[in-house]
Amino acid sequence: MGIIIRQSLKGTLANYLGVAIGFFTTFFVLVRYLTPEEIGLTRVLLDAAVLLAGLSQLGTSSSAMRFFPYFKDEKNKDNGFFFWTLIIPLVGFLLFTLLFILFKTPVSDFFQEKSPLFVEYYHLVIPIAFWMLYNAVFESNASVLERIAVPLFIKEVGCRIFLLALYLLYGFKVITFEGVLKGFAIVYFLCTLLNVGYLLSLKRVSFKPNFKYITPKIRKDFTFFTLFLVTSAIVGLITPSINTFFVTAKMGLESTGILAIAIYIVAIIEIPYRSLGVVSLPSISQAMKDGDFRLTNQLCRSVSLHQFLISSFIFTLIWINIDLFFELLPNGEKYSGAKMVIAILGLSKIIHSSLSIGASTLGFSKHYYFHLIFTFILTFTAIVLNNKLIPLYGIDGAAWATLISFCVAYAFLLPFIYFTIKVSVFSKGQIMVFFIFLIMLTMDMFWNKLFEMPSSLVPKIAFYGVKTLVICGLGIVAVYLNKVSADVNRIMDMVFKRK
């Protein structure tokens, strides 16, 4: 357990460092040196590469976690386990790359009219995806050996530093924009190289195969599990990129770039769930295994409540300062049209991050395969709505498609988990959080009407600072006085007593 705790703490540090570097890169480098169209092209290329790499894995990351205990034997070099983690993704990459090439014509037809640049650089997806794939494979190998801190540091910090350097080289005219696009493959190659070096330094990994160890039962279990994972991956990997692909095809790369900045902003809302998930999911899994549904409900409601509370406050911080943010952002006038997109996508992030613990809990039950059905519902709804709403409302339509899709999917999922495994994510505290959230947004609306906005920059920053302190401060007081969360009150009591 000591190793797990130490690795988790180091991993958390890497996450926050990565967020800081990513924030600087996106909002101080990308928007300064790249046009919205160029940002859009980088976004759609990387999303396409993530899709190809994810499909090519054939579920290796998840199956490695599941099957490594069956192979684990340090004296016998883990019975050739790590050999298969190299070969299976390679087979997947060859298969899906062939499909990627065969479907180039219909894909090109879909994007050609509005985004011919993506079609021109379509071929670059393949090398980027290849190194993304094996970077993930070697990270997964380290993970099964309970050595995730360094690979996570490479992924969250190292990779982002390389990308930052790439964008700066372009900004200072050392390389061309085409050099940036080709440089993506080099960045992920370097990250893969670092992961390989670290993995070999553990002196535990052997890539020598042991074909005799693969029993018919292992082969059968692995095949069934992989088919399930691939089916899930096809849907799960497409869903996050649907907006990007549809906006690129129907509106062009400039709109994709504006949408990308909005997505980067609202992504902050989901960050706390990473830590909450790491802490809570093992406990929920154990409670489900033990059949302790009382504890399962308690944990799910607690995670959902606290994520709703935190995400609502983060959304409020973003929303009440959004105009100032665009004013301070380099070339902010080009992206200020995404204000409504940020509002809609922000609400969808609140819903998803607050309720997704229910989907995770379903995955720990004997009904885990039903999760696939709800993922299909989410993806199908998103595809239909993007296709209908983007031509009518532009990138706002893409945001509405995301919000409505989440609402529809969770409208099916949450009753299902309640009636099948008797688990609910809802609690009375969430009702109070909802009203506090609404009151804070209403205060922001009246504040802007009652007080005159200063014209010069420094007083304007002070104006927004005071508004933020008053609104969020009163929100925190309301949470405390209404005893929305015993944990939050306990932490606040400890802080005040220290002072």
Q: How confident is the model at residue 277 (pLDDT cuts 50, 70, 90)?
A: low
Would the pLDDT of 274 be above 80?
no
pLDDT of residue 75: 63
Question: What pLDDT band is residue 194 in, cutting at 50, 70 and 90?
Answer: very high
Q: What type of residue is 132?
A: M
Residue 401: the pLDDT is 95
- Residue 135, Cβ neighbours under 10 Å: how many? 25
pLDDT(149) > 90: no
In whole angstroms, give the CA distance from residue 143 to residue 441. Answer: 42
Q: Looking at the predicted structure, is the pLDDT value of residue 7 above 60?
A: no
The confidence score (pLDDT) of residue 10 equals: 61
At 221 the pLDDT is 67
**pLDDT band, residue 4 (cuts 50/70/90):** very low
Q: CA dist 420 to 57, 294, 361, 377, 414, Å?
A: 32, 14, 12, 19, 10
- The string of pLDDT tens digits covering residues 40-90 is 999 999 999 999 998 888 777 666 666 666 666 566 665 556 677 788 889
More confident residue, 363 or 67: 363
Q: Looking at residue 1, what is its pLDDT?
A: 40
- Bigger pLDDT: 157 or 272? 157
Q: What percent of the chain has pLDDT over 90?
A: 51
Largest interatomic CA distance in the chain: 78
Cβ atoms of 141 and 205 closer than 8 Å: yes
pLDDT at position 59: 74
CA dihedral 82, 139, 170, 244 (to 10 degrees): 100
pLDDT for the residue numbered 72: 63
Average pLDDT of the residues of the chain: 85
- pLDDT score of 71: 63
346 touches 388 (CB < 8 A): no
pLDDT of residue 250: 92
Dihedral sign computed on CA atoms, order 107, 180, 267, 373: positive
Average pLDDT over residues 268-274: 78
What pLDDT was estimated at residue 192?
93
Which pLDDT score is estimated for 209? 65
Q: Name the residue type at position 332.
A: G
171 pLDDT above the threshold of 60: yes
**How far, in Å, CA of 4 to CA of 258, rounded?**
40
Separation between Cα atoms, residue 222 and residue 200, nearest integer Å: 26
Residues ≥6 apart with Cβ < 8 Å to 143: 61, 64, 65, 151
Alpha helices by DSSP H, listed for 57-148, are 60-71, 81-102, 104-112, 116-120, 125-144
- Mean pLDDT is lowest, of 86-95, 210-219, 432-441, for 210-219
| pLDDT value, residue 79 | 54
- What is the crossing angle of helices 339-363 and 395-421, to 10°? 20
pLDDT of residue 482: 92
Pick from 12-21, 69-78, 247-256, 356-365: least confident: 69-78
Q: How many helices and strands, by DSSP H and E, does the chain display?
A: 23, 0
pLDDT band for position 235 (cuts 50, 70, 90): low
Higher pLDDT among residues 368 and 361, named by residue: 361
- The pLDDT of residue 2 is 43
C-beta separation of 392 from 269 below 8 A? no
Distance CA 434, CA 304 (A): 13
SS3 assignment for 251-289:
CCHHHHHHHHHHHHHHHHHHHHHHHHHHHHHHHHHHHHH
Task: Name residues whose C-beta falls within 8 Å of residue 70's C-beta, 6 or more positions apart in sequence.
Answer: 218
Which residue from 185, 145, 159, 110 is spatially nearest to 383, judged by alpha carbons? 110
Sign, CA dihedral 182-43-54-187, equals positive
Question: What is the Cα–Cα distance from 284 to 300, expressed in whole angstroms?
Answer: 8
Is 210 a residue whose pLDDT tops 70? no
The DSSP annotation for 345-374 comes to HHHHHHHHHHHHHHHHHHHTSTTTTHHHHH
- Per-residue pLDDT averaged across 445-453, rounded? 90
DSSP annotation of 451 reads S
Average pLDDT over every residue of 251-277: 85
| Cβ atoms < 10 Å from Cβ of 473 | 10
Split at pLDDT 50, 70, 90, the class of 284 is confident
pLDDT digits (tens, 9 = 90+) for 300-358: 898 899 899 999 999 999 999 999 999 999 988 999 889 999 999 999 999 998 998 88
